[in-house]
């Protein structure tokens, strides 16, 4: 019997952050592809669209008018999934039916007044302003006594269900710690108590030694394809220094964070030469007043595309019923992302 080879044989990989497993089937990448694969025509967007409710000076769906903002702009979502004035209470029947009231605040963060500039196309200084806005919001929302967790995230592209093309992210803050960060908190705490070190510090040290899954690195941050990645080109941006939340960054770390975000999203756009869709989000310590020493600041990128601008990975069948599965290995994806230019394909095109 031949020896087990991770790049050849079906296997399961362990996600240290969630305690869950993912099935990897590298041998399947050899099968012929017969699905659809078409070139996408990209529409050139104007810098401003007076009809878009996220734009400066424009009328929002809720009836309010946006100010003539020139940097980032934050407002409470007119149709948020959560709102603060929920009566305290719960419902229970027979120990089987449970419901608990949840308070929260949902905000929208416009990255800039420009309708046509996504993160990779923005100047570094303007991305720094987005990071600073995240810092301010995390602090202000976290200070509210009924807010114990702040989720900063972005859904980019129609394929991710983003209904508005004006580049923006969202912040949902709420009274309980939701499932994903709660799972990670348990894993990080266990490691921290056992070893006295942050789980992600140990993981990053190992990845920097192996280099195989590292996509980008600067003085303060690493962008890598996690060993247990589920999405074909999933990545994670992790701080090299162990700190718990976005407001603990030094000035240098803030710059480096903005830089690695620009570089990573540029590589994403260059992969299929389209504005690359993804869901991204920051995981950091809850704002429940506890120190949460074990928490280690990081950001996830979950992009759905698999083979081209139109061929998406579906989470269906086995993934829904059993567990996530992938064909191309995280090592292949990291290698592919590493090989891509840091110059955005649009600026390359406009030069030639
Ligand atoms: Zn996480």
Selection from 303, 231, 226 nearest residue 265 by Cα: 303
**CB-CB contact of 298 with 237 (8 Å):** yes
Give the pLDDT score at 36.
54
- Going by pLDDT thresholds of 50, 70 and 90, the confidence category of residue 31 is low
pLDDT score of 165:
86
Q: Is 312 helix (H, G, I), strand (E, B) or coil?
A: strand
Residue recorded with tokens 């996504």: 118
Q: What single string gives the DSSP state of each residue in 259-291? A: HHHHHHHHHHHHHHTS---EEEEEE---SSS--
Find the 210 Cα to ligand 1 centroid distance in Å: 21
Q: Whose CA is closest to 225, among 333, 308, 142, 108?
A: 333
State whether residue 222 is helix, strand or coil.
strand
Mean pLDDT in residue range 92-115: 96
pLDDT confidence band for 135 (50 / 70 / 90): very high
Distance 183 CA to ligand 1 centre (A): 9
Residue 300 has pLDDT above 90, yes or no: yes
CB 16 within 8 A of CB 228: yes
- CA dist 72 and 133 (Å) reads 7
pLDDT of residue 171: 98
Reply yes or no on whether the pLDDT at 37 is more than 80.
no
Distance 330 CA to ligand 1 centre (A): 17
- Distance linking the first and last C-alpha atoms of the chain: 54
Pick the catalytic residue: 9, 11, 166, 168? 168
Q: What is the pLDDT averaged over residues 239-256?
A: 98
Q: Is 168 a catalytic site residue? A: yes
How would residue 163 be classed by pLDDT, with cut points 50, 70 and 90? confident
Q: How confident is the model at residue 349 (pLDDT cuts 50, 70, 90)?
A: confident
- Give me the pLDDT at residue 162, please: 82
- CA–CA separation, 194 and 174 (whole Å): 30
DSSP 8-state code for residue 18:
T
Paired strand residues for 107: 76, 171
**pLDDT, position 43:** 76
Distance 94 CA to ligand 1 centre (A): 34
Mean pLDDT (whole number) for 118-144: 97
Report which secondary-structure segment, H or E, holds 21.
Answer: strand 20-24
Q: Which of helix, strand or coil describes residue 227? A: coil
Q: Which residues contact 56 (CB under 8 A, 6 or more apart)?
A: 48, 66, 67, 68, 69, 70, 73, 113
Q: Parallel, antiparallel, or unpaired for β 20-24 and 325-326? A: parallel
- pLDDT greater than 80 at residue 40: no
């Amino acid at each position: 019997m031949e020896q087990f080879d991770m790049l050849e044989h079906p296997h399961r990989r362990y996600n240290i952050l969630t305690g869950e497993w993912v099935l990897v089937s590298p041998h399947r990448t050899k099968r012929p592809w017969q699905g659809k694969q078409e070139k996408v025509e990209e529409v050139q967007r104007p810098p401003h669209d007076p009809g878009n409710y996220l734009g400066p000076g424009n009328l929002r769906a809720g009836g309010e008018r946006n100010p003539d903002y020139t940097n980032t702009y934050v407002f409470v979502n007119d149709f948020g999934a959560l709102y603060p004035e929920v009566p305290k209470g719960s419902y229970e029947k027979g120990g089987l039916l449970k419901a608990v009231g949840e308070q929260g605040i949902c905000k929208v963060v416009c990255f800039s007044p420009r309708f046509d500039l996504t993160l990779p196309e923005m100047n570094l200084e303007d991305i720094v302003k987005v990071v600073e806005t995240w810092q301010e919001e995390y602090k202000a929302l976290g200070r509210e006594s009924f807010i114990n967790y702040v989720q900063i995230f972005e859904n980019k592209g129609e394929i991710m269900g983003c209904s508005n093309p004006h580049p923006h992210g969202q912040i949902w803050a709420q009274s309980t710690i939701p499932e994903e960060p709660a799972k990670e908190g348990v894993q990080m705490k266990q490691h921290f108590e056992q070893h006295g070190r942050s789980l992600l510090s140990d993981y990053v040290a190992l990845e920097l030694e192996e280099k195989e899954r590292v996509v980008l690195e600067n003085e303060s941050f690493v962008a890598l394809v996690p060993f247990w990645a589920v999405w074909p080109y999933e990545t994670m941006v992790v701080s090299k220094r162990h700190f718990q939340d976005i407001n603990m960054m030094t000035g240098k770390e803030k710059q480096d964070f903005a830089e690695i975000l620009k570089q990573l999203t540029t590589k994403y756009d260059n992969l299929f030469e389209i504005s690359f869709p993804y869901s991204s989000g920051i995981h950091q310590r809850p704002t429940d007043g506890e120190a949460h020493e074990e928490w280690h600041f990081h950001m996830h990128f979950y992009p759905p595309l698999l083979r081209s601008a139109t061929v998406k990975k579906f989470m269906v069948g086995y993934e829904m019923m059993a567990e996530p599965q992938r064909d191309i290995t995280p090592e292949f994806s990291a290698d592919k992302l590493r090989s891509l230019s840091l110059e955005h394909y649009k600026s390359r095109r406009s030069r030639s």
